[in-house]
Amino acid sequence: MKQGTIRQILLLTDGCSNNGEDPSAMAVLAREQGITVNVIGIIDEDASNQRGLHEIDQIALSGGGISQTVYATQLSHTVQMVTRQAMTQTLQGVVNEQLKKILHKETDLEALPPDTRGEVMEVVDELGETANLEVLILVDTSASMASKLPTVKEALLDLSLSLNARMGSNLFSLSIFPGKRKETEQLIDWTPTLESLPAVFSKLSPGGLTPTGPAIREAISKFKGKRHKKGWLPTDDEYIEKSV
């Protein structure tokens, strides 16, 4: 039987988009196709930018993902935590969905007694460890990001280290925005490890506008194979029919 695949866009940015479609709308578009959008906002120790923070939360909310705002120094740990938490959240969503179908009513994991919840959680853990994962990393390389890029590089290497310790397979892909000629530019095509990342990062020349919305739209199209209306399991309903 085919393994489930979790699809995520991981957006790293430091502030506000200023070009093209509303990024939240594009995040909804991603979510509708079973792709979760997680956003990590990188802020400077001194300045805080309210509009930027709000946008970061809105995109993740619309994209069914998780958002987190951090100082550059905390980036590594946060990037891998957000990605893992988002995976668990997706899987938990799948489990809740199944419970709903069986019980014909709204039943969240939290509504179950603790012992039962623990058993379901074991399954969620197991799935998180073995599921295949596709992460498209979307890095804001507008002018203000220049000083943060070395930290972003370390954080992404850390992410691939964490995910590659899992039993399931991983595919990463890296795009930046704005690109040289287009709004978005793919720098690394789907690959199981991010080995080529340092070389790619050393050639970056940050600058330009921040077309976050168009970048998310473009990112969606990079996911391979058949995209699904919703959910990550290709044949969700089959399992139910088979087992009932």
61 is a site residue for other proteins (CB under 8 A): no
The answer to whether 173 and 186 are in contact (CB under 8 A) is: yes
Beta-sheet strand order (sheet of 64-71): 64-71, 35-43, 5-13, 132-140, 170-177, 185-191
If the CB atoms of residues 13 and 67 are measured against other proteins, the closer one turns out to be 67
By rule CB under 8 A, what string of x and - marks binding of each residue 154-193 to other proteins?
----x--xxxxxxx--------------------------
Q: What is the smallest separation between the CB atom of 178 and other proteins, expressed in angstroms? A: 27
Q: What is the smallest separation between the CB atom of 146 and other proteins, expressed in angstroms? A: 20
66 is a site residue for other proteins (CB under 8 A): yes
Q: What is the DSSP string of 133-157?
A: EEEEEEEE-SGGGGGGHHHHHHHHH
Closest CA to 243 of 6, 3, 1, 34: 1
List the one residue from 103, 181, 221, 229 that touches other proteins (CB under 8 A).
103
List the one residue from 74, 132, 169, 193 that touches other proteins (CB under 8 A).
74
List the one residue from 18, 33, 44, 102 that touches other proteins (CB under 8 A).
102
122 is a site residue for other proteins (CB under 8 A): yes
Q: In angstroms, what CA-CA distances link 220 with 112, 157, 167, 193, 215?
A: 35, 23, 26, 20, 9
Distance between CA atoms of residues 91 and 168, nearest Å: 14
# residues near other proteins by CB under 8 A = 57
The answer to whether 199 and 168 are in contact (CB under 8 A) is: no
Distance between CA atoms of residues 123 and 52, nearest Å: 37
Q: Max CA-CA distance within the chain? A: 58
Closest CA to 176 of 40, 12, 34: 12
If the CB atoms of residues 165 and 199 are measured against other proteins, the closer one turns out to be 165
147 is a site residue for other proteins (CB under 8 A): no
92 is a site residue for other proteins (CB under 8 A): yes
Distance between CA atoms of residues 227 and 225, nearest Å: 6
List the one residue from 46, 47, 113, 226 that touches other proteins (CB under 8 A).
113
Three-state DSSP state, 70: strand
Binding span for other proteins by CB under 8 A among 21-29, 118-126, 134-142, 181-189: 118-126
Q: What is the smallest separation between the CB atom of 215 and other proteins, expressed in angstroms? A: 23
The answer to whether 134 and 225 are in contact (CB under 8 A) is: no
Binding span for other proteins by CB under 8 A among 12-20, 23-31, 140-148, 235-243: 235-243
Interface ranges with other proteins (CB under 8 A):
1, 3-4, 53, 57, 66-70, 74, 76-78, 81, 85, 88, 92, 95, 98-99, 102-103, 107, 109-110, 112-123, 125-127, 129-130, 158, 161-167, 233, 239-240, 242-244
